[in-house]
Amino acid sequence: MKLCVIGTGYVGLVAGTCFAESGNDVICVDIDAEKIERLNRGEVPIYEPGLEELIRRNVAEGRLFFTTDLAEAVRRSLLCFIAVGTPQSDDGSADLGAVIRVAAEIAEAMDGYRVIVTKSTVPVGTSERIRQVIASRTKHPFDVVSNPEFLKEGAAIEDFMKPDRVVIGTDSPRARALLQELYEPFVRTEQPILFMSPASAEMTKYCANSMLAARISLMNEFANLCEKVGANIDDVRRGVGFDRRIGQHFLFPGVGYGGSCFPKDVKAVIRTAEQYGLDFRMLRAAEEVNVRQKRLLVDKVMEHFGEYLRGMRFAVWGLSFKPRTDDMREAPSITIIEALLRANAEVHAHDPEALGEARKIFGDRIHYHRVNYDALRGADALLIVTEWNEFRRPDFDRMKQLMKHPVIFDGRNIYDPEDMQARGFIYYSVGRRPVKP
User: CA 248, CA 295: separation in Å to the nearest integer?
Assistant: 26
Q: Which of 26, 27, 44 is nearest to 35 (CA)?
A: 44
Sheet (strand 142-146) strand order: 64-67, 25-29, 2-6, 79-82, 114-118, 142-146, 166-169, 193-196
Q: Which of 18, 80, 226, 261 is catalytic?
A: 261
Q: What is the phi-psi region of residue 32: left when phi exceeds 0, alpha when psi lies from -120 to 50, beta otherwise? A: beta
Residues with Cβ within 8 Å of 415's Cβ and at least 6 positions away in sequence, in order, are: 408, 427, 429
Residues with Cβ within 8 Å of 293's Cβ and at least 6 positions away in sequence, in order, are: 217, 220, 254, 255, 256, 332
Q: Which of 209, 78, 100, 87 is nearest to 153 (CA)?
A: 209
Is 226 marked active-site? no
User: CA 161, CA 290: separation in Å to the nearest integer?
Assistant: 31
Q: Count Cβ atoms below 10 Å from residue 281 Cβ, excluding itself.
A: 10
Residues with Cβ within 8 Å of 158's Cβ and at least 6 positions away in sequence, in order, are: none
Residues with Cβ within 8 Å of 276's Cβ and at least 6 positions away in sequence, in order, are: none
Residues with Cβ within 8 Å of 48's Cβ and at least 6 positions away in sequence, in order, are: 10, 14, 153, 154, 156, 157, 324, 325
Side chain identity, residue 347: V
DSSP 92-132: SSB--HHHHHHHHHHHHH--S-EEEEE-S---TTHHHHHHH
User: CA 9, CA 28: separation in Å to the nearest integer?
Assistant: 10
Residue 367, SS3?
strand
What letter does residue 435 receive in the DSSP assignment? B
Q: What is the phi-psi region of residue 92: left when phi exceeds 0, alpha when psi lies from -120 to 50, beta otherwise? A: left
DSSP 190-236: SPPEEEE-HHHHHHHHHHHHHHHHHHHHHHHHHHHHHHHHT--HHHH
Q: Are 21 and 55 in contact (CB under 8 A)?
A: no
- Across the strands, what pairs with 143? 115
Residues carrying an active site annotation: 261
